[in-house]
A and B are shown apart, each in its own frame.
Chain A
Amino acid sequence: MPTRIFGEPIKRAEDPRLLTGRGRYTDDIDLPGQLHVAFLRSPLAHARIRSIDVSAAREMPGVVTVWTYADIGPCQRRMPLLIPHPDLTHPYTRYALAKDEVNHVGEPVAMVIAESRYLAEDAVEAIVVEWEELPPVVDIERAVQPGAPLVHEELGTNVAAHYVGIVGDPEGAFSRAAHVFRERLIIERSAGMPIETRAIVAVWNDVEGVLEVWDTTQAPIVIRNALAALFGLAPTQVRVIAPDVGGGFGCKIMVYPEEVLVPYAALTLRRPIKWTEDRLEHFVGTNHERLQIHDAEIAVDAEGRILGIRDRFLHDAGAYTPYGIIVPIITACQLPGPYKVPNYHVEFRAVYSNTVPVSPYRGAGRPHAAFVMERLLDRVADELGLDRAEVRRRNFIQPHEFPYDVGLIFQDGAPTRYDSGNYPGMLDLLLQQMDYDRLVREELPRLRAEGRFVGVGIACYVEGTGIGPYEGATVRVEPTGQVYVATGMPQQGQAHKTVLAQIVAEELQVPVGSVQVFEGDTAHFQFGSGTYASRSAVVCGSAVALAARKVREQGLQLAAEELEVAVEDLVVEDGRVYVRGAPERGFTWAQLAQLANPLRYAYAGDLVVRPRPWTGPTLPPGKQPSLEATEYYSPPHATWASGAVGMLVEVDIETGQLHIRKLWVVHDCGKMINPMVVEGQVHGGIAQGIGGAFYEKLHYDDNGQLLNASFMDFLMPTAMEIPRMEIAHQETPSPLNPLGVKGVGEAGAIPMPAVVAAAVEDALRPFGVRITRMPLDPDQLWRMTHPESS
């Protein structure tokens, strides 16, 4: 019997290094002769630069040089627009160092290069800038009013993009609806906030003639390509490595100013250069996400079946649009969730403001979408006197209705087409896990009779995962028996080295420990885009599987030739390829790799090389001297994962404190490669989602100053705030890819604002409040329950 490796909760290959302090994160790299960078960043949200005087800073102890826009050569061009979109009619990207205007607090203005970070920070303080203040644009609702001050004067508008998506006949649906309900729903600004900030180390390797860059990026190939183009180097002359990366959550995928400036300094000064973002810089220098203001309405028939949805929303783009309008597009496409919405009108404006730019953060527009949809359904249930679970059940897309077309074009340019799912099954599993009927009929009334404000919420969601364009992988069996795997995707904690090894080990039936995965280093793999959008397992995993299958075929073919049997008579088991029923007739994978390579000189291997009669070239045309394959996988479109969560909360109405008493999760990411890793992903997403529901909000004041740019005041939950989670799995394989897998990276984060809102609203029913804004906080809960006091 083949050994099952795919699907097993195998311990991670990454861990022994990371547990013993032998991880290698970017800031851990110190090179001889290394210089350090600190940036002067704009203290103002919107201003013109009248003058910059760096002369005193240049004279400071230990300072090598100080650069402004004038000094940065090829980096003077505008930063790239990474993802254009036809509706992004007014894109705008920044200069690596501000040229004549700054558009948010934190924008890099000057760059000090010194012998230490301490000295560099000293010199930053000696730079003198004369500013001409411009009116800051912070409130996006005001920003779209006529006559509002403009973030970018030359665009003539603060609206970067106006998108309209229409499915069916929304107007007709609303005109014949039994009921129409409207909500204004807001999700506030937040950020991914990995515990490791960004960092870059760059050095010109004069021996090899290669620019070497270690970068905390989620997309080293993208950075490599950008640097080669910018500096006129061949791509092979630039090597970008994302070593161990301490969390990403979306904000580490970008081409940030520092990512071109630090390598440029290494090229120019011919010294190793390091920049490590500090936490204060991170708050104002690394992209944010989340703020959207929705005006949504739902039309239903008398039984609560959805006839149509209309949603118009404003999306805060921040000061620039380097990542296009991916986030609001995802919101628009995913808003219908697991429900049939036959008629749908969605429209958004992406609006500039003098704040940190917005790009995806775990969830990437989906928590907003789920919040809107689930809030609308809760409203329908409450207004029609239906159970909230029942309303969902009535509107689910049914298992036989796949593939199901939502009718809009998704973020990747492909149709928003759900490939598979079992939403009723998912909800049933959740309700069973919650013991929903007993909870609602017995436990809640009992607790409420004790005077407790307890409530239950549920929320369902889908997630389009595993988008293209493609990823690739090389798999090679080494003559020493190890299996080499290389991909272009780096990880930030998602266990690629383990799960990709499991895929290969399953195909070749070798011990998982013999598979070594190399990732995130452009010297190992040159093509691909990076780690984002819950796509690693799907896109990269499939490429790895295809390559491993090809190698398996090569091994079988070779063994068949050597043993003079048919391929069909061979089995692959226990790390060997052998004749069915005659295990002694066969080879280990190492032996096959040796056989494949007709070397003149025998070398370390366990195979006795037989002299062969001459038959022509030793390596005939079409043959390769290795068991090796490089394959690419490009999905036709996204594969759609789904999930449902349930929550029991208690509110202390006298202090506004929220206590999550129970949290149940069902998720469906198709076939699981490693359930332990899947659960870890779900746990982490949920914790971030809870952060976004009750703790984390970036507070800008009217001047565009970020008021809580520290871990003292930006409140990421601790172990005391995150409850125990009970997780159940449903596995609905994807028909789209060779593994049947779907992504899970963002899953947990998506439904949390929706479910917290639902549960809190239920707990506060005696007060008749509606939860329409996330995150909540104690003050808001107290106001809702004490209208007379506030």
Chain B
Amino acid sequence: MKPPRFRYYAPHSLEEALAVLAEMADEAKPLAGGQSLIPMLNMRLARPSLLIDLNGLHELSGIELDNGALVVRAMTRHRAVERSPLVAEHTPLLAEAIRWVGHLPIRTRGTVGGSVAHADPAAELPGVLMALDGTVQLTSRRGQRLVPAEDFFIDLLTTAAEPDELVTEVRFPSLPSRTGTAWLEVARRHGDYALVGVGAVVSLAEDFTTVTEARLSFIGVGGRPVRARLAEAALRGQPVAAETWRAAAATVRGEIDPAGDIHASAEYRRYVAGVLAERALALAAERAREGARQ
């Protein structure tokens, strides 16, 4: 389990990185935290002839607010997100979900941009991004574009990024007031990729008895993170009540189409997606109320 031969390039600036990527996109692979790429190299499942190491690009690191949105630059480590008071305050769903990513030494090294670009359908960050209707900033020599999460994640390990484009930041828009979020997942062991995970976002009307908007974003139930649009639509205007969440669970089960593997069957995932949706919606609604009280 030793990596195959490759050339290694550590650019000093994003511009340098993009220049090389533009020239050699076919044979080059950007190296972010390496927590997914290096295992693939060690198993010789990935064979880039050139690695472009982004770890020296400090300009790609940092968390800030921009026009109310939380901006996390691509090379920001998971641990930095986990420790950030800004994230906890502004995007609690991200703060909650990030703790489910691997383990401490993985989060030390793993990056937000790397996780999003890798697009594992059972990974937490893509699910959070989908739940919050976030956007991915892609940068190449040709320019920069913002791609909504919905359009960015295409399929298993496949995104809308062109070979010469780098994920340079992700944006999590702010949520309306009286909104609560919750992240729940079921994994075989602590820190494993989720069998099923869900991010729920629930906004309540002024009297806190009615749902004005709800979102459900699932991981582990398809080739990409999946929004339960039918359930979301059905939740709008419904009362804050256990029956509402239960009905949403049923809708979720009808609209998702998970696959099975050695760890859990498709039927299990479908059912548990409903269970987690029900629980996450209730929790998010509760938090929406609590948040308003504070």
Residues 766-790 (chain A) with a chain B CB within 8 angstroms: 777-779, 782-783, 786, 789-790
Q: B77 to nearest A CB, angstroms?
A: 21
A452 at the interface (CB under 8 A from B): no
Residues 737-789 (chain A) with a chain B CB within 8 angstroms: 777-779, 782-783, 786, 789
Q: B118 to nearest A CB, angstroms?
A: 14
Instruction: Jot down 28 A-B pairs with beta carbons below 8 A, ordered by A.
Output: A122-B4, A122-B5, A280-B1, A654-B272, A655-B272, A656-B268, A656-B272, A695-B188, A712-B192, A713-B262, A713-B263, A715-B188, A718-B190, A720-B189, A720-B191, A777-B188, A777-B264, A778-B186, A778-B188, A778-B195, A778-B268, A778-B272, A779-B263, A779-B264, A779-B268, A782-B268, A786-B271, A789-B267
Cβ–Cβ contact B190 & A721, under 8 A: yes
Give the complex CA separation of A127 and B44 in angstroms.
16
Residues of B close to A654: CB separation below 8 A: 272, 275
Q: B138 to nearest A CB, angstroms?
A: 29
Residues of A close to B272: CB separation below 8 A: 654-656, 778, 782
Q: Tally of A-B residue pairs with Cβ under 8 A? A: 67
Residues of A close to B5: CB separation below 8 A: 122
Interface residues on B, range: 20 to 34
Cβ–Cβ contact B192 & A715, under 8 A: yes
Give the complex CA separation of A721 and B5 in angstroms.
39
Give the complex CA separation of A447 and B195 in angstroms.
28
Give the complex CA separation of A654 and B276 in angstroms.
9
Cβ–Cβ contact A118 & B188, under 8 A: no
Residues of B close to A695: CB separation below 8 A: 188-189
Give the complex CA separation of A66 and B197 in angstroms.
48
Give the complex CA separation of A76 and B5 in angstroms.
34
Give the complex CA separation of A778 and B272 in angstroms.
10
- A711-747 interface bits toward B, Cβ cutoff 8 Å, 1 = contact, 0 = none: 0110101101100000000000000000000000000
Q: B103 to nearest A CB, angstroms?
A: 8
A234 at the interface (CB under 8 A from B): no
Give the complex CA separation of A778 and B268 in angstroms.
9
Give the complex CA separation of A655 and B275 in angstroms.
7
Residues of A close to B262: CB separation below 8 A: 699, 707-708, 713
Cβ–Cβ contact A782 & B271, under 8 A: yes
Residues 237-294 (chain B) with a chain A CB within 8 angstroms: 262-265, 267-268, 271-272, 275-276
B43 at the interface (CB under 8 A from A): yes
Residues of B close to A301: CB separation below 8 A: none
Residues of A close to B186: CB separation below 8 A: 655, 657, 778
Residues of B close to A278: CB separation below 8 A: 1
Residues 164-214 (chain B) with a chain A CB within 8 angstroms: 186, 188-193, 195
Give the complex CA separation of A118 and B190 in angstroms.
33
B7 at the interface (CB under 8 A from A): no
Chain A residue with Cβ nearest B43:
A280
Instruction: In the A-B complex, list the 4 residue pairs whose CB atoms are closest, starting with the nearest.
Output: A720-B190, A278-B1, A654-B275, A779-B268
B142 at the interface (CB under 8 A from A): no
Chain A residue with Cβ nearest B185:
A655
Give the complex CA separation of A522 and B268 in angstroms.
54
Apart from A715-B188, A718-B191, A790-B265: 11 A-B pairs, beta carbons within 8 A: A121-B44, A122-B5, A280-B1, A655-B186, A707-B262, A777-B188, A778-B195, A778-B264, A778-B272, A779-B265, A789-B271
Give the complex CA separation of A195 and B237 in angstroms.
54
Q: A34 to nearest B CB, angstroms?
A: 16
Give the complex CA separation of A783 and B44 in angstroms.
38
A662 at the interface (CB under 8 A from B): no
A162 at the interface (CB under 8 A from B): no
Chain B residue with Cβ nearest A281:
B1
Give the complex CA separation of A721 and B190 in angstroms.
8
B83 at the interface (CB under 8 A from A): no
Give the complex CA separation of A279 and B1 in angstroms.
8
A117 at the interface (CB under 8 A from B): yes
Residues of A close to B275: CB separation below 8 A: 654-655
Give the complex CA separation of A117 and B264 in angstroms.
37
Residues of A close to B2: CB separation below 8 A: 117-118, 121
Of the listed residues A655, A715, A717, the one surrounded by the most CB atoms of chain B closer than 10 A to its CB is A655
Residues of A close to B263: CB separation below 8 A: 713, 777, 779
Q: A190 to nearest B CB, angstroms?
A: 14
Residues 94-129 (chain A) with a chain B CB within 8 angstroms: 117-118, 121-122, 125
Residues of B close to A789: CB separation below 8 A: 267, 271
Q: B267 to nearest A CB, angstroms?
A: 5
Chain A residue with Cβ nearest B195:
A778
Chain A residue with Cβ nearest B269:
A779
Give the complex CA separation of A280 and B268 in angstroms.
29
